Amino acid sequence: MNADPQPPVTGERLGPLEQRVMDLLWDHSSHTVREVMDQLSSRPAYTTIATVMGNLERKGLVEAQRDGRSVRYKPRCTREQHTAALMRQALGVSRDRRASILHFVDTMPDEERDLLRAYLDDDTSRGTP
């Protein structure tokens, strides 16, 4: 298993604009509100993006850092960590986690199942449960 320390990640779903902003941050590591505005084709208002950044910070997904007169926002987790948190949250509401996991694995493409199998086999060979 991956032993990298993970920041606390919420499994909160993101709205469409929050998702686009997080995609930019994950792709570029950090941005100011103005830089995010410049990257978005829809050109939302400065206050709209500032509100989204504040919401993402409140959710624990971004960290704000002063940069002169601006504030830079950077992700507190990777895209993959956030996706895993969403999956854990989805399993958390299931009445039958085992059935949910098995159904999920049954719907995976063969190459993803092979990847999962290889990962679990490798983990078992190292003595990790």
Q: Please give the chain's pLDDT, 129 residues, in tens.
A: 444 444 556 677 899 999 999 999 999 989 999 999 999 999 899 999 999 999 999 999 999 999 899 999 999 999 999 999 999 988 989 999 999 999 999 999 999 999 999 998 987 666 655
pTM above 0.85, yes or no: no
Tell me the two tokens of residue 60: 């624990």
Separation CA 15–CA 83 (nearest Å): 14
Separation CA 63–CA 96 (nearest Å): 35
Whether 18 contacts 62, CB under 8 Å: no
What residue type is 49 in one-letter code? I
